Structure 1
C-alpha cells in the first residue's frame, strides 16, 4: 500500500506540513485527507434551511403556559 509522489511541489508541501506539525509523512497525508473528507461531509444547506430544522424541533415541544418574566429579560438586555 504505497503511494509514490512524483510531483516535486506536492512532495515539498507534504514534507513542509509534516515538519511544521511534527508529524510523519503518513500522518500528515492522512490528516489532510481526513480534513478534506470531513469538509465534504459537512451540511452544505443554506443557513435558513438548517435553522428551519431547529425551529421545527423547538416548535414540537408542548407549551408550558408560563408567562415570560419581562423584568428579567429587560435586565438581560440592560433596559432595567
Structure 2
C-alpha cells in the first residue's frame, strides 16, 4: 500500500478542516478534493480532445458495405420514396 505524507502544515490543516466539516477521515478529504479538482480540469479540456479520447475507447466498427441512401431511410418508415 502506498502512502502519502503531507509535509506542508497548511495543506494538512486544510485536509483536517474539510474532514471535520464533512465528518470523514483526512485521507478521504484529500481524495475528495483531488477528485473534484480533476473533474474541474476535465471541463477545460477542449471538446475535440474529449471526443478523440472517447473514440479511442468506442470504436465505430468495420464498414458493412451497405448504402444508406434515401431508399434505405424510406424503407425504415415504410415509405415508397415518392
Unaligned runs of 5+ in 1: 46-80
Let me know the Cα RMSD of the aligned residues.
1.4
TM-score with structure 1 setting the length: 0.51
Unaligned runs of 5+ in 2: 47-82
Give 2:62's aligned residue. none
- Structure 1 runs of 4+ off > 3 angstroms? none
Q: Number of residue pairs matched?
A: 45
TM-score with structure 2 setting the length: 0.50
Matches within 5 A, 1:1-80: 1-43=2-44
Give 1:76's aligned residue. none
Give 1:71's aligned residue. none
C-alpha separation between the residues in 1 aligned to 2:6 and 2:44? Answer: 32
